Amino acid sequence: MRVLAAMSCCLLLAGLTGCKSDDGGGEPAPAADLTLGATTAKPSKGDRVVSVDITFENFDQLSKLEVKRIDGGTTYTSELYQDELTPEYTYTYKVTSSSADNFTLGFVAVGKNGSRSATKQVAVDNRWGISIANVQCISRVTGKAVSGTGFPTPLYQVDNQTDTRFNLGGTDLGIVWEMDPGKYGIAFGDSYGSSFSPNFNGGGPGAAGGWRCNVLLFSTDSDLSDGLSISGAATDTRGNAKEIIYGGKNTSGQGNWTSIPTAAIRANGIDYIHYMNIRAWSPDYLTNHSRLFRSTDGGQNWTRCENVEFGSYSNFGQVGFAKKDGYVYIVGTETGRTTKPKLARVKEEDIEDQSKYEYWSTSEWVTGNETAATTLFDDVAGELSVAYHTGYQKWIILYFRDVKYGYDIAMRTADEITGPWTNATSVCTGWEYPQLYGSYIHPLSLTGNKLYFLMSMWVPYNVYMMKADMQLLN
């Protein structure tokens, strides 16, 4: 009985481990295994698919391939059985919008006898477009120097003396565009006089005097590495920076409160500013309308374009402008900071004719119907700017996300303005720069590897020049 039991045990083990029987049976079946063609991968640009080449060893002994995604935790994404595979096989994995910037795919060959190979891994770098690093505050652009906890310490002390030169002690935004070659316009929002001092208990202008709803400064600075210098302003007869677009200053919430620029561009030889006319700031920027103004004298004087007007709840009440190939592209949201961006375009020469505006609707341009515009990407955007980087051949968008949406200035990039756009990259946060907002790309950023942008802070209610290093990923 002992002999029979021993023989039975050995036969059982032979089926699992290849133990030889007493009568000289064959060698055990070799275990299934796999080899990967590479240990790193990047998704393809267009369809965002990761491809992994796999060679199976002892394919006839393979039962299935287990694939697991390792991203913090471990989740099995698929099991492929032998009849779905080939000895030389390319596995594909579709990256989704929720995929992390970096994750790992793990592969295990499972044999018919239950054996399991070691896990072979591919590290996936899901980043694409442009990466950002080394974000710094370069200089203060407007107002007086302030110091203390929570205030930025610029690398360079550039004092543009806007308070004494242009009666401009406090302001925000700083929408910058190239007017003539080498001359840049910078449009600001609600602005206050030289007596302005920061409201440390809440921020903003407080009870400051010298209120103008908007002003325009100029710069001819061609080297931003040591800060942004201001060369002039659109001024009144006293030399003060003047209000270029009328705002009623009716703070009742029932009339014309203020007129705030949202974007600016030179098109067809004329300078244009898109602005929103605010009725009440709460709830979430109630407007009377948004309109387009034009200047043919270098920004000194501005008149309304009569045939362009967006309503109170338009998808283009607040916008960013960019030019490419004879078109002005318009990325817009409803006024405020709670809606997702849409896209429009118009030929430069037709920018004053709203009936010729085209709106991007899923996969085509639709003329004259702004309600056809579909969401450009799945994120809420506040103040924004958009530009085409000719060196990298990429579109860049910067936008502010309010406290309940991330509290930062975010960036996305794309090969085509219609998308797909990369996942959002946080450029700088409100935890680093308390009460930051606004994010306006300087055109001098669009050939090299430095991103320069203007950023506002509610305290001390002034504007700063920021810089970040850029690197092209793919």
Q: What is the pLDDT of residues 117-139, one digit of tens each?
A: 999 999 999 888 999 999 999 99
What is the percentage of the chain residues whose pLDDT exceeds 90? 83
What is the mean pLDDT of the segment spanning 293-320?
Answer: 98
pLDDT of residue 346: 98
Q: State the pLDDT at residue 25.
A: 54
Q: Tell me, what's the pLDDT at 46?
A: 72
* Domains of the chain with bracketed CATH: 28-125 (2.60.40.10), 130-472 (2.115.10.20)
User: Quick one: residue 378, left, alpha or beta (phi over 0 = left, psi -120 to 50 = alpha)?
Assistant: beta
Question: Nearest Cα to 165, choosing from 94, 229, 245?
Answer: 229
Round to whole Å and give the CA distance between 317 and 323.
19
For residues 42-65, one letter each, b for 16 or more C-beta atoms within 10 angstroms of the residue's C-beta and e for the rest, the string is bbeeeebebebebebebbebbbbb
Q: What is the pLDDT of residue 461?
A: 96
Residue 312 tokens read as: 């109170």
pLDDT of residue 8: 41
Assign 72 a pLDDT band (cuts: 50, 70, 90): confident
Report how far Cα 253 is from the mean position of its chain's Cα atoms. 32
Q: What are phi and psi of 121, to 5 degrees?
A: -120, 145
- List the single range of 43-47, 138-142, 407-411 with lowest mean pLDDT: 43-47
pLDDT tens for each residue of 77-125? 889 999 999 999 999 999 876 788 889 999 999 999 999 999 999 999 9
What percent of the chain has pLDDT above 70?
94
Q: Rounded distance, CA 331 to CA 385, Å?
A: 8
Per-residue pLDDT band for 1 (boundaries 50, 70, 90) equals: very low
CA dist., res. 58 & res. 12, Å (int): 23
pLDDT interval class at 146 (50, 70, 90): confident
| pLDDT confidence tier of residue 14, bands split at 50, 70 and 90 | very low
Give me the residue label for tokens 């325009």: 216
| Structure confidence at residue 26 (pLDDT) | 65
Query: What mean pLDDT, rounded, does the chain reach?
Result: 92
Check pLDDT > 80 for residue 267: yes
| Average pLDDT value for residue range 160-185 | 98
Output the six-digit token pair for 205: 């202008």
- pLDDT of 334 above 60: yes
**Contact predicate 462/456, CB 8 Å:** yes
Torsion, Cα of 463, 435, 258, 338 (10° steps) = 120
Three-state secondary structure of 74-141? EEEEEEEEHHHCCCEEEEEEECCCCCCCEEEEEEEEEECCCCECCCEEEEEECCCCEEEEEEEEEEEC
pLDDT above 60: residue 196: yes
Rounded-to-integer distance, Cα 184 and Cα 442, Å = 9
DSSP string, 179-205: -STT-EEEEESSBB-TT----TTT-S-
Is the model's pLDDT at 291 over the cut of 50?
yes
CA atoms 296, 300, 305, 310: torsion sign = positive
Tell me the β-bridge partners of 123: 40, 104
Checking if the pLDDT of 20 tops 70, the result is: no
384-389 sheet: strands from edge to edge: 384-389, 394-401, 408-414, 425-429
> What is the predicted pLDDT for the residue at 47?
82
pTM of the predicted structure, to 2 decimals: 0.84
Whole-number pLDDT of residue 372: 97
pLDDT in tens, 372-396: 999 999 999 999 999 999 999 999 9
- Of the pLDDT bands very low, low, confident and very high (cuts 50, 70, 90), residue 217 is very high
Give one DSSP letter per residue of 261-328, joined into a string.
Answer: EEEEEEETTEEEEEEEEEEESTTT-EEEEEEEEEESSTTS--EEEEEEEE-TT-TTSEEEEEEETTEE
